[in-house]
Each structure stands twice: as C-alpha cells, then as structure tokens.
Structure 1
Amino acid sequence: MGFPKTRDDDPAPDLRPRPGRRAVLTRALGLTAVAGLGTVAAIGAAAEPAAAKDAKLTANQADWRFCTKCYGMFFRGYPTDGACPSGGGHDSAGYNFNLPHDIPETPTAQHNWRFCTKCYGMFFWGYPDNGRCPAGNAHAAAGYDFVLPHDIPDPPGSQRNWRFCPKCYGLYFYGYPTNGRCPAGNAHSVAGYDFVLPHL
C-alpha cells in the first residue's frame, strides 16, 4: 500500500532547510517584545523577511487528535487514520491539538516526540529502540521534532493528562479510569511527565 500524498501540513515534509534553534528562539523573543508596542509591531511584521515568516508558520502543527479506541494521540491529516492497537484505523474525538515543533527544548518542554509513518501515532524517539507499533515491530520516525510542554499550569486552550507509555513509547491520554489499549499488550502504563498540550 502506498503512502498518501503529502500536504502542506504533512508531519513528514520534504527535507527543506529549517532555521536553527537559536534563530527560532531569537525570533520568538523579538516578536514577544514587539507585540506590546502596538503600531510598531505591525510595521515590524510588514518588514519581516520571508524566511522568518515561514519559520513562524511551521512552528505548530494542527490535526493531532485523541483516539477513542486506544486513547493515543494520532495525526488525522490523511485520508486514512493509521493503525490502532484496538484494530482498524484510529477513531478521533475531542480537541484538535496544535503541537509545537522544531523549537528549543526547555526544562518544561521535551523534544524528541515524532510522527510514526506506520501507525500515524505520536511516540518518543529518545531511546535506542523505537517502542512498539500497532502496525508491527517498532515505530518509524519521520517529519518534525515535536517539543511538548509538561508539568505547567494548564492555561485555557490546553489539556493536561497526556502521558508517556514505557511499553510502546506512545503518547496517550491518562484522564480516564482505564488506560486505553497498548500495542505491547493490555493497557498503557504511565511514566514521566504530565504533558499539557495546546489545542485549537
């Protein structure tokens, strides 16, 4: 089966050059300072180089959704919905998450979260192996390096209780009495940070 054609918001975009971490941070800090200056901000935005505008446009990606069957986070930007450990494709519900990527890691934001091209799920890519994929064997990483906020107050437009499963390395919602379905067997296990994810 061929992989669906890519879109502009594809989690596995072509390998176009991306700005360095320092450039993205410098732009973000500069924009924050200018935002409070009213008219000056509008003038600065109009004069901003095209590369800086492109960096801001690709700083977040929407279409990340909760699966009602496995409780995992998956990308719903393709005609099909990947592979769910409960069988078939994922079933989406709830918020449309808009996740930050390719920005510097901080003490309250962890990088190395990736899109799996096989199951369309979000998984942690920071270990020598890649966990367990419901489509078989380990997850296959592609696309952006997502940087997920954790252990912070949940402001309006965000949801907490997203957790790492040490069995499959996936990101799943830990806000119900049960823990969904893990591709490594039975329910997900919980470990690590309490991720607080922004949504539209």
Structure 2
Amino acid sequence: MGFPATHDDDPAPDPRARPGRRAVLTRALGLTAVAGLGAVAAIGATAGPAAAEGASILASQADWRFCTKCFGLFFRGYSTDGACPAGSGHDAAGFDFNIPHDIPETPTAQHKWRFCTKCFGMFFWGYADNGRCPAGNAHAAAGYDFVLPHDIPEPPGSQRNWRFCPKCYGLYFYGYPTNGVCPAGSAHSVAGYDFVLPHL
C-alpha cells in the first residue's frame, strides 16, 4: 500500500516489506516532464555511476522509499538502511519509487538530485554546500544525476507532495500535518517545487 492519503484508519504498511529486484522495466511513465522519451529502462538496483543511455531511453532506478520516521526519501537497495535523523536507520513504507536519472532537465523536471553515501537519502546538489546529513556534516554525492518531475498533474502511478527542505537539502514527503525530522534540527521546512515522483 502506498501513502497518498493520510487516513488514521488505514492499516500500517509493513515497514520491512521489500520488493524483488527488477532488472529491466519497460513501462511508459506518461509524465509531461519526460514525454517523448520512450520506454523506461530500469538499471539494476545500485546507486553507482550511471551507464551511458541513448537519448530515446529513459533510465530509472527503483528501491527508493519513504521513511516513516523522518519522512525523507531514501535508497533501500543495500543491506542496511542508512542513517535517519530520527535515530538509527530509516524505516521503509509505502510505494517503491522508480526515479528517472541522467536525462535532460526541462521546465518541469529538475536535475542535480543525488544519492548520499552516508545517509542513503536523496538531496539537492545544486548549491555551494551540500546541506546537512544525519550522519554528520554535509551530504556526500555519488551515482546518478536524478531528474525529478515537478509541478505537473499527478498521473496514475505517481505521487505529488514531495518537497525540498532548505535546511538539510533533502527531499521529503509534505503530505502530513507534521513535516518529519530534519537533521538540521526540528522538522523539515518547505521550499520550491512540488515534485511528482513515479512509483511501481
């Protein structure tokens, strides 16, 4: 079960449920931000360097999950779950997000979103500093250049209300009465675009 709605009577998802590995995914996203790019090809679930992709193929990476403790988006493709600002590792729930990467930026898709090797979260890598990491100091970028659709209608198979936090530079879900836990202190703050993330 995903978490597009915030009903108190919904059964809680199993936070340790893990989808199987997906080697190749060929489904259309139907997003304005990636219109005309053709079939989706999911690269194996690693956060390492991207392979060269043809202009007509949209590469994407699955295993990105919502953390129930900090509300951030983190990569769940390793044997551990990174570092959560609410303590210990992240706790996964909801959708398995399949994030586009290494495609051209458009007016409705922003690039420079990166994987942090320390906390496993997704953060914006477009400023002189790298925000605040829950594992200490700034985030450390690695792997793909993720390109996030924003400010478009929410198509089937996607979820809106993902926002940039100007305190930690992380991406978090802004669909609850509270804003999770920020590694820079207190709750996340909200700024910028309304990101619409595709999921499986």
TM-score (norm: length of structure 1): 0.76
Distance in 2 between residues matched to 1:114 and 1:8, nearest whole Å = 17
CA deviations 1:95-126 (Å, max 9, x no partner) are 00000000000000000000000000000000
SS of equivalent to 1:82: coil
Moved segments of 4+, more than 6 Å? none
Distance in 1 between residues matched to 2:159 and 2:86, nearest whole Å = 24
Deviation at 1:9, TM superposition (A): 2.3
Q: Structure 2: which amino acid aligns with 1:163? A: R
User: Aligned residue for 1:188?
Assistant: 188
Q: Structure 2: which amino acid aligns with 1:60? A: S
Distance in 2 between residues matched to 1:12 and 1:123, nearest whole Å = 16
Distance in 2 between residues matched to 1:143 and 1:190, nearest whole Å = 26
CA deviations 1:26-54 (Å, max 9, x no partner) are x25xxxxxxxxxxxxxxxxxxxxxxxxxx
Alignment of 1:88-99 (within 5 A): 88-99=88-99
Pair 1:18 & 2:52 matched = yes
> Residue 69 of structure 1 contacts residue 86 of structure 1 at CA under 8 Å; is this kept in 2?
yes
User: Aligned residue for 2:101?
Assistant: 101
Q: Structure 2: which amino acid aligns with 1:130? A: N
> Residue 74 of structure 2 contacts residue 122 of structure 2 at CA under 8 Å; is this kept in 1?
yes
Assess, with a 3 A threshold, how the Cα gap between structure 1 residues 17 and 66 changes in structure 2: closer, same or farther.
Answer: closer
User: Aligned residue for 1:9?
Assistant: 45
Number of residue pairs the alignment of both structures matches: 158
> Residue 132 of structure 1 contacts residue 184 of structure 1 at CA under 8 Å; is this kept in 2?
yes
> Residue 12 of structure 1 contacts residue 115 of structure 1 at CA under 8 Å; is this kept in 2?
no
Q: Structure 2: which amino acid aligns with 1:93? A: A
Distance in 2 between residues matched to 1:72 and 1:141, nearest whole Å = 16
User: Aligned residue for 1:111?
Assistant: 111
Assess, with a 3 A threshold, how the Cα gap between structure 1 residues 96 and 17 changes in structure 2: closer, same or farther.
Answer: closer
Q: Structure 2: which amino acid aligns with 1:86? A: A
Distance in 2 between residues matched to 1:183 and 1:133, nearest whole Å = 6
Identical counterparts, % of pairs: 80
User: Aligned residue for 1:137?
Assistant: 137
Q: Structure 2: which amino acid aligns with 1:78? A: Y
- How large is the Cα RMSD of the aligned pairs? 1.4
Pair 1:173 & 2:173 matched = yes
Q: Structure 2: which amino acid aligns with 1:9? A: A
User: Aligned residue for 1:37?
Assistant: none
Distance in 1 between residues matched to 2:51 and 2:177, nearest whole Å = 44
Deviation at 1:140, TM superposition (A): 0.1
> Residue 60 of structure 1 contacts residue 101 of structure 1 at CA under 8 Å; is this kept in 2?
yes
User: Aligned residue for 2:155?
Assistant: 155
Deviation at 1:17, TM superposition (A): 5.5
Unaligned runs of 5+ in 1: 1-6, 29-55
Deviation at 1:166, TM superposition (A): 0.0
Structure number with greater Rg is: 1
Higher fraction of helix: 1
